[in-house]
Amino acid sequence: MMISRKHDPLDYVRPNIRALKPYSTARDEFKGGDISIWLDANESPYPDTGLNRYPDPRHRRLKQAIGRLKGVAPDCVFIGGAGSDEAIDLVYRIFCVPGRDNVVAAAPTYGVYAVAADINDVEYREVAPDTDLTYTAADLLAATDSLTKVIWICSPDNPTGISLPLSEIEIVAREFDGIVAVDEAYIDFSTQPSALTLLARYPNLIVLQTFSKARGMASLRIGMAFATPSIAAIFANVKYPYNINGPTQERLLAMIDRDITAQVAEIREQREWLRGSLDALSCVEKVYPSDANFLLVKFDDADKVYDYLVSQGILVRNRNRVAHCRGCLRITVGTPDENHALVNALKRIL
């Protein structure tokens, strides 16, 4: 159903957050100039460690580089630590009143949404999937009420690997009078366009991405949120100062333009090879279609297979006790040698 929309995305922000006067660091106050003596931030003056100065708290160079990489304006970019998890937590703190509001998400999905809801005292509403683990925009919208502030969409989803079609994401963004947060951690492996293509038309849309997956920088723990400039500015005001350390910022800047085309193509090819190889095994009941760099696989005895693979030096993720994933293991697509080793190990269990 179509509903009237508030046109200013700031209307979705909690009043106390809108009124917040953010902490101002010494480097926030510095607007540029030819400085050779730094006496503003109570740092050590001795550069022997190479780490004695605070990093840029507003990540200006990184926002310029990420804006170029993703084709968005730098003022639409927020950069967070802990991968996308910092941005997920900020969504709750910015938009949801504890003890009153609720959020909606399809199940199964990334577990941090529910954990962050519990931490922030926000009701978390799960939408059960169809038997094939898919769901629709209508399913999500039907679960909302006047106190629903955020709809979470993980696409491609974790742990299923299934994408919600972009046309369905657009329906949610158009019809829901609240924040639509689309987590695209695995978008580089997908055949579907990014929801970033919708950002200019829907000011209630927030798109999360990460450097942890396709770009191979999980150890750096850098995530991004893309939003209309007024919302991106709120994210920057609410985050803690200096949330990305200096060496991490420099390392990312040095690697941000690395070409990952060949690696992504190989993972996609290996995903399809692995899907076919697993599907041929008698211990496998079903391999779900995937738009990500992993496969959700249903076994006749998931716990037994998991323990056996560990004994063979192969670690996968046991999702057997996750709602709607009974009997399933989540298997990341590795190198060709790793994938062959996995399949050969599973052949020996028969």
pLDDT tens per residue across span 36-91 = 899 999 999 999 999 999 999 999 999 999 999 999 999 999 999 888 999 999 99
Percent of the chain, pLDDT > 90? 92
List, in sequence order, the alpha helices (H) in the chain: 15-18, 26-29, 60-70, 85-95, 112-119, 137-142, 166-175, 229-238, 246-255, 261-279, 302-311, 336-348
pTM > 0.85: yes or no: yes
Task: Quickly state the pLDDT bin for 225 (edges 50, 70, 90).
Answer: very high
Rounded distance between C-alpha atoms, residue 18 and residue 232, angstroms: 13
Task: Quickly state the pLDDT bin for 6 (edges 50, 70, 90).
Answer: low
pLDDT of residue 350 exceeding 70, the answer is no
Rounded distance between C-alpha atoms, residue 296 and residue 158, angstroms: 9
- Which residues have a Cβ under 8 Å from the Cβ of 331 and sit 6 or more positions away? 274, 278, 294, 295, 297, 316, 317, 342
The answer to whether the beta carbons of residues 190 and 164 sit under 8 Å apart is no
What pLDDT is attached to residue 112?
Answer: 98
How high is the mean pLDDT of the chain?
A: 95
